[in-house]
Amino acid sequence: MPFVFADQGTIIKDMGMGTFGGKTYHVLEVRYQAGVGYSSEDDFVVFIDPKTDRLALIHHSVTESPDVERVTWVFDDWQRVSGLIIPARMTFYSGWNPDDPGKGASFTVENAQLSTQAPNPAIYNPPAGAVIE
């Protein structure tokens, strides 16, 4: 997800320091100029670990879903793959309670592979019988 923070029309505001789960982070607010990207109405609150300068969590609005207002992705652990550092374990929380996040759904990234070769474009084709509106 952090790759969308480099798009033209991105507005980043330093929010100072904040806490999540009892730990202190450097906090940035990220939003977009009207009409930029897939959901320019979305906003993101990004927490950066001040000791490692790595992304720790992203808390964001979900404007494309009527059922979920905000979600939080916590990057619990990292791994090195082909010289790059990528997430190894993440936890997803519905909603937001920085003092007591509750129990989230965790998942791991295993057997990750990175390549400089582009994938076959056919993998992006909709499945047979899909209805595109």
pLDDT in tens, the chain (133 residues): 556 677 778 888 999 999 988 899 999 998 888 877 666 677 889 999 999 999 999 988 776 666 667 788 899 899 999 888 989 999 988 777 666 666 778 889 888 888 888 888 888 777 777 666 6
Report which secondary-structure segment, H or E, holds 109: none
CA distance 51 to 122: 42
Residue 106's Cα: distance from chain center in Å? 14
Q: What is the pTM of this model?
A: 0.74
